[in-house]
Amino acid sequence: MDKLLIEGGTPLSGEVAISGAKNAALPLLCAALLTREPLTLTNLPALNDIDTMLNLLAQMGVRVERETSKVGAGGTASADTPGKSGTATLDASGLDNPVAPYELVKTMRAAVLVLGPLVARCGEARVSLPGGCAIGARPVDQHIKGLTAMGAEVTVEHGYVHAKATGLKGRLKGARLFTDMVTVTGTENLMMAACLADGETVIENAAREPEVVDLANCLVAMGAQISGAGTDVIRIRGVDRLHGATHRIMPDRIETGTYLCAAAATGGQIRLTHTSASYLDAVIDKLMDAGCAIAIEHNALTLKAPLRPTAVSIRTSPYPAFPTDMQAQFMALNTVAEGTAVIRETIFENRFMHAVELIRLGADIKIDGNTAFVTGVPKLDGATVMATDLRASASLVIAGLVARGETLIERIYHLDRGYENLEQKLVALGAKVRRVK
Ligand code: UD1
């Protein structure tokens, strides 16, 4: 299993291009299931989660053509950035097996995103329950509740959700839906299902995440009638069919935030291109509170770190508040900041696993339920640590970049799920990082 060896202590400096957003790409790939015509997605990041989703779609009968451009991640042509971002064209005209097996769903919870589109297009679907994952139980009851309200008969047997539309000609029926909590993939699943339902669907308490808006934009380009995406009430008027389209995937706001945090923690100065500050208000605000100077351009961001950051307290909440997917990276930043930060995690019940690993590097962290108290120390010391989930791994990378001496991060397959060309990008920023087989 690959490991990442980091020799810390170098402030990050230079410029890298940000890749397309993983969390936008995954639902967008599933949107291809809604039409018999080809859907082309550009700025598709080269990530293990994307490969998993493409394999899942292929085994359902979707034809996938993938072009990996020779340009760097995010589009900068450079021999130093061998990014494999590219274009995929998905043709679901031959969709004949609306089943998502356990072997694929267990490795990636977002596979549940096929459920809504499959029931809408085929009238039924069998999708494995995702099961538990490292950051909590993460049930899919809201996805099921919504589809049931749209007239699907849903049974859960042998670990599989079996949903069957009972409307005329096997169609779902438009309905008024209210989710008990804000759920991102739940909103996306139900929005996709509603596109081909009979009549109007209203999703209340909808997620407002930019990735939901990116998906809605693509669905509208495919002929869907959607209004309100980006607010907490989304209205979808069902149509008989959707057609093909070409859509460029939005930049990855969490990858952007992760590099900003890494530069802030190491006392560096970096410029990130092919990205946008517009989805990052909460994160940029906290980085400025930490003492960073940030300059915003149309498609780029520059951060200049202070000599030592000031501790910043955060509380995670659905968008537009501070994202749970940036909590771990800010914990790493706070480990070397001046003062004490209070970090409250309100989305997931078990998302502090990086804390024990950061403590192994010398961090001063106390956990009490969903709250972590982080008191900054002047220096961390390199050690061997273990990555436990995607964003936890990112926090260990940041800590490793700051720590004195060598840090060896084990189980970095989590990073390969969500960060395109991580080592190459860090090396381009002057970091001493290498992958050890
Ligand atoms: C998505 C993101 C993930 C991010 C998370 C929260 C993707 C592919 N993943 O995950 O990176 O961390 O949003 O911003 O976009 N819940 C239920 N029942 C449900 C659905 C959700 O109880 O049916 C709970 C979850 O356990 C969690 C909370 O609701 O506590 C929010 O989860 P949700 O927004 O659904 O997360 P994901 O969509 O899985």
The backbone torsions φ and ψ at residue 115, rounded to the nearest 5 degrees and listed phi first, read: -60, -55
Alpha carbon nearest to ligand 1 atom 29, residue: 183
- According to DSSP, residue 274 is labeled S
Distances (CA, A) of 140 to 11, 146, 296, 387, 436: 42, 10, 38, 25, 37
Q: Establish whether 195 is a catalytic residue.
A: no
Tokens at 24, concatenated: 């936008």
Which amino acid makes up residue 406? Answer: E
Q: Is 186 exposed, middle or buried (0-12, 13-18, 19+ CB in 10 A)?
A: buried
Is there a contact between 117 and 155 (Cβ–Cβ < 8 Å)?
Answer: no
Q: How many residues does the chain have?
A: 437
Q: What is the largest CA-CA distance in the chain?
A: 67
From ligand 1's centre to the CA of 289, what distance in Å? 28
- Mutation test of ligand 1: which of 138, 148, 346 has the most ligand atoms closer than 8 Å to its C-beta? 138
Q: Pairing mode, if any, of strands 99-100 and 384-386?
A: unpaired
- One pLDDT digit (tens) per residue for the chain, 437 residues: 899 999 999 999 999 999 999 999 999 999 999 999 999 999 999 999 999 999 999 999 999 999 876 444 333 333 333 446 799 999 999 999 999 999 988 888 899 999 999 999 999 999 998 865 555 556 889 999 999 999 999 999 888 999 999 877 889 999 999 999 999 999 999 999 999 999 999 999 999 999 999 999 999 999 999 999 999 999 999 999 999 999 999 999 999 999 999 999 999 999 999 999 999 999 999 999 999 999 999 999 999 999 999 999 999 999 999 999 999 999 999 999 999 999 999 999 889 999 999 999 999 999 999 999 999 999 999 999 998 889 999 999 999 999 999 999 998 888 999 999 999 999 999 999 999 98
Q: Quote the pTM value.
A: 0.95
Q: How far apart are CA 344 and CA 366, in angstroms?
A: 12
Q: How far apart are CA 8 and CA 406, in angstroms?
A: 6
Taking the chain, what is the end-to-end CA distance rounded to the nearest angstrom? 6
